[in-house]
């Protein structure tokens, strides 16, 4: 199928990415973020394309945008296409280019959100506006959503939309968003394009140890800090058992075929760690999702060096596989022990979507059309996206925000990293692929 996106769309996707980056939507998780200027920007561009975007807020300034594109097949299920407007913080002193400049230099757009995920927001806008100019309509209804608060709890974003505005997503059975269909160079000359068909669940934990407060010079057998430190050490050192989900099994089988390896994940005694060693750098796509995980990240206790506090607190970033929440809970009970309590500081479900569907096949075909040298493989995300909240509406989520990047461009390292940037050519590729997929989906 020939490239149908028009030439203005390729200029617009670069401009939109740059201009969205210039709108500082830093989300520090303290409620101070204001996505409204970016939401109004996106809504105006959608309105120019003849759509009727709704601006929706749970909290003033924490604005979401939702619009529907009517398809040609009224009997088809609708598809949700969503991207978030907020970004994580960036310290300007650490960057080569100011993180909110949106500067286009040497064929690259620089700034916070260039890959996470104002680039995808810009691609969505560029495609929809191209359709308005050319009179193109997709096969199925598309619901376009630009959300607030994804980089924190999503309570003001996708969670609010799913809970309070479910009617806007009527008919949606599947959705696409970030973290998929990007180029992964394996160091052997192969270009892989992983499409996400699953996410580990989010289990951010608060650990609290209590003991006897007292003078730091005295013997204290009920020291809250010691109790907490012991629990944190056990958690940090724990080796979680292998648990292979259907998505990860599918990834292992396809990767085995690419590299000429033997892999039967269902066979007794299959050693996934030994198999991953044979994959070399490609193992990075799979290794984080063959187990649950729990990484201690924050500690808080005490107020003076010679005072033993009565309480000590730690935070742990926990993630669990689809079907792995019960094991996660049971293991944390064992690792924390009798002297430390734990609770979920924030929790979201694990997700899994099938890879043997027409939608996945169409995503594969769209990538292959514009990157025939590439190999599409399914994978499971180690983290999470707004797809978790939209799953409450029965929407199965996929990670599909296509980009073709050159060798040496570490796409995954730029998520939340310093000097975040995206090549102009990658945006052009992504716009073409997204247009191809959304027209045929």
Closest by CA to 88, choosing from 41, 136, 150, is 150
Sign of CA dihedral 280, 116, 3, 408: negative
Closest by CA to 236, choosing from 315, 345, 301, is 315
Closest by CA to 316, choosing from 329, 305, 304, is 329
Q: Which residue has the tokens 């669990």?
A: 320
Task: Give the DSSP letter string of 251-297.
Answer: HHHHHHHHHT----TTSTT--HHHHHHHHGGGGGGTGGGSS-EEEEE
Q: Work out the burial of residue 90: count CB atoms within 10 Å of its CB; fewer than 13 is exposed, 13-18 middle, 19 or more buried.
A: buried
Specify the 3-state DSSP secondary structure of 57: strand
Distance of alpha carbon 160 from alpha carbon 390, whole angstroms: 10
151 catalytic? Reply is no
Distance of alpha carbon 33 from alpha carbon 28, whole angstroms: 7
Say if residues 104 and 14 touch (Cβ distance below 8 Å). yes
Closest by CA to 300, choosing from 238, 240, 345, is 345
The 10 Å Cβ neighbour count of residue 320 is 26
Distance of CA 42 to the CA centre of its chain: 20
The answer for residues whose C-beta is within 8 angstroms of residue 412's C-beta and 6 or more apart is 182, 284
35 catalytic? Reply is no
From 35, 150, 186, 254, active-site residue:
150
Say if residues 4 and 83 touch (Cβ distance below 8 Å). no
**HSE, side-chain direction, 13 A CA sphere, residue 393:** 27
Specify the 3-state DSSP secondary structure of 119: helix
From 35, 86, 178, 199, active-site residue:
86
Report helix angle 118-134 to 424-440, nearest 10.
Answer: 60
Closest by CA to 441, choosing from 31, 76, 38, 30, is 76
- Identify the bridge partners of residue 194 per DSSP, sorted by sequence position: 377
Active site residues per annotation: 86, 150
């Amino acid at each position: 199928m020939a490239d149908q996106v028009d030439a203005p769309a390729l200029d617009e996707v670069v401009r939109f990415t740059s201009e969205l980056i210039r709108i500082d939507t830093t989300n520090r998780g303290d409620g101070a973020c204001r996505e409204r200027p970016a939401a109004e920007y996106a809504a105006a561009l959608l309105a120019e394309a003849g759509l009727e975007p709704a601006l929706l807020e749970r909290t003033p300034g924490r604005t979401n945008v939702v619009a529907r594109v009517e398809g040609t097949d009224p009997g088809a299920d609708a598809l949700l296409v969503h991207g978030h407007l907020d970004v994580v913080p960036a310290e300007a002193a650490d960057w080569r280019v100011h993180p909110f400049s949106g500067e286009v230099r040497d064929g690259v757009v620089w700034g916070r959100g260039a890959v996470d995920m104002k680039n995808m927001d810009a691609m969505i806008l560029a495609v929809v506006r191209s359709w308005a100019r050319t009179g193109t309509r997709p096969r199925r209804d598309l619901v376009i959503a630009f959300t607030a608060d994804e980089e924190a709890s999503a309570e003001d974003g996708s969670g609010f939309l799913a809970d309070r505005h479910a009617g806007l997503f009527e008919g949606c059975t599947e959705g696409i968003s970030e973290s998929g269909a990007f180029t992964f160079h394996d160091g052997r000359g192969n270009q892989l394009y992983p499409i996400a068909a699953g996410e580990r669940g989010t289990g951010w934990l608060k650990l609290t140890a209590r003991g006897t407060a007292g003078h730091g010079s005295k013997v204290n057998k009920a020291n809250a800090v010691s109790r907490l430190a012991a629990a944190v050490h056990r958690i940090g050192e724990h080796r979680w058992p292998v648990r292979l989900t259907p998505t990860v099994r599918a990834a292992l089988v396809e990767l085995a075929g690419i590299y000429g390896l033997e892999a039967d994940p269902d066979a007794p005694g299959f050693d996934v760690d030994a198999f991953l060693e044979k994959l070399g750098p490609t193992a990075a796509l799979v290794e984080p999702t063959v187990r649950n995980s729990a990484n201690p990240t924050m500690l808080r206790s005490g107020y003076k060096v010679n005072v033993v506090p009565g309480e000590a607190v730690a935070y742990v970033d926990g993630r669990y596989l689809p079907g792995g929440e019960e094991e996660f809970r049971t293991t944390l009970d064992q690792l924390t022990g009798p002297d430390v309590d734990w609770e979920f500081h924030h929790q979201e479900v694990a997700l899994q979507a099938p890879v043997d569907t027409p939608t996945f096949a169409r995503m594969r075909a769209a990538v292959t059309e514009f990157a025939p040298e590439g190999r599409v493989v399914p994978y499971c995300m180690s983290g999470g996206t707004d797809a978790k909240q939209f799953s409450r509406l029965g929407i199965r989520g996929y990670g599909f925000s296509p980009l073709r990047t050159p060798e040496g461009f570490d796409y995954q390292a730029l998520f939340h990293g310093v000097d975040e940037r995206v090549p102009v050519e990658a945006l052009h590729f992504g716009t073409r692929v997204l247009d191809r997929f959304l027209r045929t989906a």
